[in-house]
Amino acid sequence: MAIFVTGSTGYLGSYLVAGLFTEHRDTLNLLVRAKSDQEAHERLWTSLQLHLGFPEFLEYVRTRVRIFRGDLTSDCFGLPDDEYHALVDTTDSLIHCAASLNRKSEKQCLNVNLRGTLEVIQLARRAQNRHGLRRYSHVSTVAVAGKRQNEVVTEDAAIDWSRSDYDPYARTKKFCEHMANQLLPDVEKTIFRPAIILGDSRRGDTSQFDMVQAFHVLAQMPVLPLRPQDKIDIVPADYVGKAVVAIHQKEAPAHGIYHLSSGTGSQTYLELTEAIARASGTRRPLFSSWLGGPFSRTVNWAANRGGAVGHGASLLKVFWPYLDWNTVFDNSRVVAELGEVPAKFSTYAYPLLKFSRQNKFHYPAKPWPSGAVVEKISAVRSAGS
């Protein structure tokens, strides 16, 4: 039996797969969109090289992975009947991590988040009916809380259907949680709601840059249109990955919903800018909160222009509501479950910015090794076994 994981070629998904590889012994069923087995392997390698060397990657994929080449938004993932039946028969738990993060596209969020989640729920339903399902874990987002201001939000108070949502991403993810609860009433479920996932507390390397680019733009401004004592809830990817894997594998987690966040330990903009200024040897920016309105209007105007300015403005336009809401998400449940708090963003913010700037906001991915290298590694491993 195996754990079915969606989103394995994505940023957070790579942390989940790597954590399952290194901390557990389960076989994994991975849904990968690819036209050939080789393309599927190459996509996985691009994602997982942030965590693993090639020999380890090859060993894990050959001994503990079954790849199902399909599409999240197609009926039965677009798999042939025999493959889909095999997926149902061999899946004993699911971690649904795949999602569209395109906060501007209603169409893409509806297609990937809603249709895709419905397909995953249908797989869970069939597996439950066939042989029973150990757990359905769903990676959501704190954005399901809708429009907030100056709050500390608990898990049970997050969803309020009378509140408006900031964007299509938040709206569709909220309904995905609703679908899981309504359509899988007899299945053990765990909902994970990460806050802003940004970087890795152990190193500067990252392969996700959208939010980093937004911070890069803000870090270069001499005056920030923010309130210095406002908090921003940022959590490192390594903490989120560890939490999802550890709690999914527990026999009886204490709760059904977890905020994967920094909670009341979130830092203020003043704390973050001072830390980055110290690390970089620069002067921290000043704050002028009354510029918030004019800044937002300028960003909206610039987002429609081309070039680097337009790209930077479009990122700020998307994330601005979450930078301005001064809202954090209580994390006491996950801290009690794991026995540790997430690292503070100030401790790794500058290495993250430095790596991103040096690599021009692109991950320096290594290509798939040549056939001769792969054959040599395989031969060595076979001789040693």
Q: Which residues on neighbouring strands pair with residue 203, listed in sequence order? A: 200
**pLDDT in tens for each of the 385 residues of the chain?**
999 999 999 999 999 999 999 999 999 999 999 999 999 999 999 999 999 999 999 999 999 999 999 999 999 999 999 999 999 999 999 999 999 877 777 888 999 999 999 999 999 999 999 999 999 999 999 999 999 999 999 999 999 999 999 999 999 999 999 999 999 999 999 999 999 999 999 999 999 998 898 888 888 889 999 999 999 999 999 999 999 999 999 999 999 999 999 999 999 999 999 999 999 999 999 999 887 788 788 877 777 777 766 666 777 777 888 888 999 999 999 999 999 999 999 999 999 999 999 999 999 999 999 874 565 455 444 544 4
Return the pLDDT at 383. 47
Give phi and psi for 92, each to the nearest 5: -115, -5
326 sits in the region (left: phi over 0; alpha: psi -120 to 50; else beta) called left
Residues 6 or more apart from 327 whose CB is under 8 A from it? 145, 148, 149, 150, 151, 152, 153, 233
Asked, for residue 294, whether it belongs to a domain, the answer is no
Q: What is the largest CA-CA distance in the chain?
A: 68
As for how many domains the chain has, the answer is 1
Residue 149 lies in a domain: yes
Q: Is the residue at 269 inside a domain?
A: no
How far apart, in whole angstroms, are the C-alpha atoms of residue 62 and residue 60? 6
Strands 223-224, 257-260: pairing kind? unpaired
Give the pTM. Answer: 0.94
Q: Buried b / exposed e across 262-276, counting CB within 10 Å, b at 16+?
A: bbeebbbbbbbbebb
Domain extent for 168: 2-198+233-264+327-343+363-384
The pLDDT, as a whole number, for residue 375 is 57
Is there a domain that residue 306 lies in?
no
Instruction: Give CA–CA dist 175/192, Å, rounded.
Output: 14
Give Cα separations from 31 to 3, 86, 284 (angstroms): 11, 13, 45
- C-alpha triplet 247, 344, 266: angle, nearest 5°: 85
Q: Does 308 fall in a domain?
A: no
Question: What CATH number is attached to the domain comprising 137?
Answer: 3.40.50.720
With 0-12 CB in 10 A as exposed, 13-18 as middle and 19+ as buried, what is 370? exposed
